[in-house]
Amino acid sequence: MGLQLVFSSFLAALSQMGDRRFRKVLGLGIVLTLALFVAAYAGLLTLLDVLVEGQAYVPFIGEVTWVDDLLSWSSLLFMIVLSVFLMIPVASAITSMFLEEVAQAVEDRHYPNLPPVPRLPFSDALRDTLAFLGVLIAANLLAFILYAFFSPFALFIFWGLNGFLLGREYFQLAAMRRIGRDGAKTLRKKNWFTIWVAGTLMAMPLSLPLINLVIPIFGAATFTHLFHKLNGQS
């Protein structure tokens, strides 16, 4: 039953791709994500340029001109690999910024009889986002210890851990709009396994470069649907 709710929520979110408001938020999310990665890549190239400056001279050979090019191409590959890990906190940040717009677009189309909800104060949203980012980063740093000891299962540990954390945050943010912080926490604990499954299914494509660009917004829409389905059963 839990998987059925998860997949029906995902399909409902996917069906809204043609919605103009939905595509606008999706486009903004992709642009912001790309901008963050371009900025990170530019910073990495600048750092590499500083580190290798004056070091590209080999005694008896002379100046080695291909070092900068090699480092640049290597850094590009490094950023592609790093994006697998960076997309998790990026997805968290983007969700906190755009969830209100995504959830409202979903509710206007699929749940039109719901009463309007007041917008969550920016200070509360920022506090929740920063607190969760701290937990997310700390948990993933500690997980490297598990990756070292259980390297054949590293990818599954990565998916399971981040699926749990992302599902927790996405569902909490979606539910808080309608039933408040305490109500969201109670409903989340009651349906923790279903939420974990949904979060894991979201974390898996987040580890795929390019595809992961569209996942944060689809995740926000999916968890909005999942909240309404689970709340309707309680």
Residue 30, domain member (yes or no):
yes
- For residues 160-185, give the mean pLDDT: 90
Residue 8, domain member (yes or no):
yes
pLDDT category, 81, cuts 50, 70, 90?
low
Q: At what angle do helices 2-14 and 192-206 cross, to 10 degrees?
A: 50
Cβ pair 187, 231 in contact under 8 A: yes
Looking at residue 208, the DSSP 8-state letter turns out to be S
According to the model, what pLDDT value does residue 188 have?
94
Greater confidence (221 vs 81) lies with 221
Residue span of the structural domain in which 156 resides: 2-34+85-233
Residue 75, domain member (yes or no):
no
According to the model, what pLDDT value does residue 197 have?
94
The answer to whether residue 96 scores a pLDDT higher than 90 is: no
Q: How far apart are CA 185 and CA 207, in angstroms?
A: 27
The answer to whether residue 154 scores a pLDDT higher than 90 is: no
Q: How far apart are CA 78 and CA 60, in angstroms?
A: 31
pLDDT in tens, 29-67: 778 777 777 777 677 667 666 665 544 444 444 454 544
pLDDT in tens, 119-137: 777 677 677 777 777 788 7
Averaged confidence pLDDT in the chain:
79
Residue 49, domain member (yes or no):
no
Residue 154, domain member (yes or no):
yes
Number of domains in the chain: 1
Residue 183, domain member (yes or no):
yes
φ/ψ of 116, rounded to 5, equals -65, 155
pLDDT category, 193, cuts 50, 70, 90?
very high
Residue 39, domain member (yes or no):
no
Q: How far apart are CA 72 and CA 55, in angstroms?
A: 15
Residue 17, domain member (yes or no):
yes
Q: How far apart are CA 160 and CA 3, in angstroms?
A: 16
Q: How far apart are CA 175 and CA 35, in angstroms?
A: 29
Termini Cα distance of the chain: 14
